Structure 1
Amino acid sequence: MSETVQSAGPLAGLTVLDLSRVLAGPWSSQMLGDLGANVIKVEQPGQGDDTRRWGPPFLEDGSNDAAYYLCTNRNKQSIAINMAEPEGAALIRKLAAQADIVLENFRVGGLVKYGLDYDSLRAICPDVIYCSITGFGQDGPYKDRGGYDFLIQGMSGLMSVTGHPDGEPGGGPTKVGVPISDLVTGLYATISILAALNHRNATGEGQYIDCALLDGQVALLVNQASNYLNGGMIPRRLGNAHPNTVPYQDFSCADGDVLVALGNDRQFRAFCALIGRDDLAGDPRFASNGGRSTHRGVLIPAMQETIAAWQSADLITAMEKAKLPGGKVNEIPEILADPQIAHRGLVHDMQRSDGTPVKVIGFPGKLSRTPATYRKAPPRCGEDTAAVLGEALGLDEAEIARLMAAGIIADSL
């Protein structure tokens, strides 16, 4: 493999036409861009992606783009085209004819009137890989509903197992602190696109991919769903405790909380020895994980009483020496300044086209031969319109000026 290909990324040479906005779609296209694909993000003139306004905080660089937008739009070129105008839709179709992948998250059937649906684009580009992301999928009784992360977290059952139990202070269903339903659907979309690319490489065939937020989040119920499907156990909220593994939760020390995550019987016995509670390790009720889970109502209070006398740093240090999994609950500034994160190079400094600095969280996979690259900071809306239309479609300056004057396209907001 040449050094050129290595530096460009494993998806170098592929073009993604990104018609999506907000998070699930842009999250997927950003990953494809990190891995080397050329991503062209199509935005609405005068408005752009909704997340550009989802603040504060905002960048103070004239664009007033929100920090939210910055987290999911690097390694993309932004072009502003009004697809509601026939000339605008025609320009997008010409770009789609040159693309390997088209990604969109409009409502079901929403792109048919613009000739930008899968059937229309397949007619001009038979090997295109076309991925649609919606709340509930392209069929079924909910297909015409709008889908938002918070709604999906509740409908999927996720919130029924997240938060403190009913009857406890703060009890009740709780959403996850990040838009997990959007993010996991973006991941599934990327995985599906890569699978479709491999199929196309083998057969020459493109295909249609239908990804739904609800489907993705239900798939992410993993052990909780399996507990019900295969054991008849209806999962409930347990706070920070685990439904299957005990002890696997937070404990209060004299000066703060620690996380204790013991995954097997050996680790449990070693932890009991560490805190001076061999009596717990020797109790036949707690000898196996199944017994500890059944009798957690007795075991956990006994552990809480002993752990409460420890200083958190002392307990974490002792667990590290004993090679037992434990740690603290970090706040966001703490983890982003953590030496492990610094060593792994996860935070990257980038510059927008005008020199404005932007920090981003990088792609977490470490590819030894074709690593992710950080080539272009999240762009202003439409800043690449003229360049892309000139290079990709051969439009000259006069034609670009005419289209701008007619409101068909726009440059930077």
Structure 2
Amino acid sequence: MGALSDVRVLDLTQVLAGPYCTMLLADMGADVVKIERPGGDLIRSNPPYVDDPDAEPYGGYFQSVNRGKRSIELDLAGDDRDTFLDLVESADVVVENYRAGTMESFDLSYERLAEHNPELIYASIRGFGDPRTGKTDRQGQPAFDIIAQALGGVMEITGEADGPPMKVGPGIGDLFTATLNCIGILGALHHRDRTGEGQYVDTAMYDSMLSMTERAIYLQSYEGEAPTRCGNAHPTLFPYNAYEVADGYVVVSAFGTNHWRAFCAAIDRPGLAEEYATPAARLKHRESLYDEIAAWMREHETADVIDRLEGDVPVAPVQDTEAIFADDHVHDRDMLYEVEQPGADESVRIAGSAIKMSETNPEPRGRAPILDEHREEILAELAAQEQAIDE
């Protein structure tokens, strides 16, 4: 049993942020009922696909963030609205990531749902938050990951110093917001257990990116000027960077004096440890030190650098996904999960759960659902629930 095996979640979300949030809840054991609009989640049709003509037509994008959920197709603007309200009566959590005002247009606002279930936790993920938790002029505007990264300061501090602003590769505007929303839901559930009170949980993508750029915020406050891009370096620590080696790249984080001394000894430069003995001295002379370290690195291969430094100095190769799939650590930690691709003869791999627990360990609970796959099952449960109430 998962830690949340007694929790039912009605998942009205689509694309990435909302589904990732509810996926975390499903991995922890929650019964997540994915309520899909007519035609299903927008990303069901997104590639990549398995090369099998009989495979169910959803791709890796949908599979990776909707595993372990049940699906029912409902038209909230039409005849299915009452069915949804019936489901709300026995739900613990509702999660949606529409624009502000969308649920109100269906007459399914938090306040209306709370009339049917006063203990309900209602969570929203939006680009700019919900008026209930702080009204702004931006609410109602569409937002995607790159919008949030741009507004929240992430892009301004990402990239090379002489290059353009750069977004972070993974969709952190969605994923970090989703993670914070999940934390808010868990907090609200705990509060409800103590008081019986439901509540509204709201996370905004813009807010979340501002929270993630915490270093930029305090640097602005302390130094009075906006920090900008510095590549793979760190504005206040050295060495803390990526270095090109003969067959790829490695990263080194040896800013602590103990690590600095071990690093200098390993690369046969003990004199540097004495000459630049303090963090301030290393930071002041970072450019010349970088050049000397970089010249040494270019003459050595990844395996040699790792062999010299690993165990004494924080060091790692820059890995692609082929290297990740071959890494024993990844398999020992169950971080690649094999799931069925409906209709295909082969299974596929998706990322596992990074949350590890000794008694109720989260794990992906099967593949993503086919659209409307669980309609009869869910409606039968609803009928049984109504009969029990009548009796």
Give the structure-1-normalised TM-score.
Answer: 0.88
Answering whether residue 60 of structure 2 is matched by residue 67 of structure 1, we say: yes
Q: Residue 231 of structure 2: which of 239, 249, 269 is its match?
A: 239
In the alignment, which residue of structure 2 is the partner of 1:211? Answer: 203
Q: Where does residue 90 of structure 1 map in the other structure?
A: 82
Match of 1:328 in 2: 317
Are the aligned partners of 1:253 and 1:308 in contact in 2 as well (CA < 8 Å)? yes
2:140 is matched with which residue? 144
What's the offset of the Cα at 1:336? 2.1
Asked if structure 2 preserves the Cα contact closer than 8 Å seen for 1:248 and 1:262, the reply is yes
Deviations 1:270-299 (A, max 9, x none): 11111121222122xx32223322321222
Q: 1:100 aligns with which of 92, 95, 107?
A: 92
* Fraction of identical pairs, as percent: 34
1:30 to 23, 29, 36: 23
Residues 23-81 of structure 1 show CA distances to partners (whole Å, capped at 9, x for unaligned) of 11111101111111100001122x21111122234574443112111110011100001
CA contact (8 A) 2:55 2:343 kept: no
1:56 aligns with 2:45: no
1:315 maps to 2:305: yes
Deviation of 1:350 (Å): 2.2
Shift of 1:355: 7.0
Structure 2 residue aligned with 1:43: 36
Q: Does 1:297 align with 2:287?
A: yes
Aligned-pair distance for 1:231?
A: 3.0
| Displacement of 1:115 | 2.5
Contact 1:159 1:173 in 2 (8 A): yes
1:225 pairs with 2:217:
yes
What are the residue-to-residue correspondences of 1:112-131 with 2, within 5 Å? Answer: 112-131=104-123
Aligned equivalents of 1:325 and 1:95: distance in 2? 51
Residue 260 of structure 2 corresponds to residue 268 of structure 1 = yes
CA shift digits 1:202-226 (9 cap, x unpaired): 0000000111000111100022222
Q: How many residues align?
A: 380
1:16 pairs, out of 2, 9, 13, with 9
Q: In structure 2, the residue corresponding to 1:111 is in which secondary structure?
A: helix
Give the superposition deviation at 1:195.
Answer: 0.4
Task: Indicate if the aligned counterparts of 2:56 and 2:342 stay in contact, CA closer than 8 A.
Answer: no
What secondary structure does 1:41 align onto?
Answer: strand
Q: 1:71 aligns to what SS in structure 2?
A: helix
User: Aligned equivalents of 1:103 and 1:91: distance in 2?
Assistant: 17
Decide whether aligned partners of structure 1 residues 40 and 66 sit closer, same or farther in structure 2, where only a CA change above 3 A counts: same
Tell me which residue corresponds to 1:339: 328
SS in 2 for 1:208: strand
The residue matched to 2:34 in structure 1 has which SS? strand
- Post-superposition shift, 1:377? 1.1
Deviations along 1:125-170, whole A, 9 cap, x unmatched?
001000011000112111121110011111111011111112xxxx
Distance 1:174 1:76 in 2: 34
1:351 — aligned with what? 340
Superposed structure 1 runs of 4+ greater than 6 Å apart: none
**Contact preservation (8 Å) 2:56, 2:343:** no
Task: Decide whether the 8 Å contact of 2:243 with 2:250 is kept in 1.
Answer: yes
Q: Please, what is the CA RMSD of the aligned residues?
A: 1.8
Aligned residue type for 2:292: A
The answer as to whether partners of 1:352 and 1:379 remain within 8 angstroms in 2 is: no
Distance 2:115 2:183 in 1: 25
The normalised TM-score by structure 2 is 0.93
Any stretches of 5+ residues in structure 2 without a counterpart?
Answer: 387-391
**Which AA in structure 2 matches 1:310?**
H
Amino acid paired to 1:71:
S
Distance 1:162 1:57, change over 3 A: farther
User: Any gaps of 5 or more consecutive residues in structure 1?
Assistant: 1-7, 397-413
- Select between 249-258 and 184-193 the one with higher mean Cα deviation: 249-258
Equivalent position of 2:374 in the other structure: 384
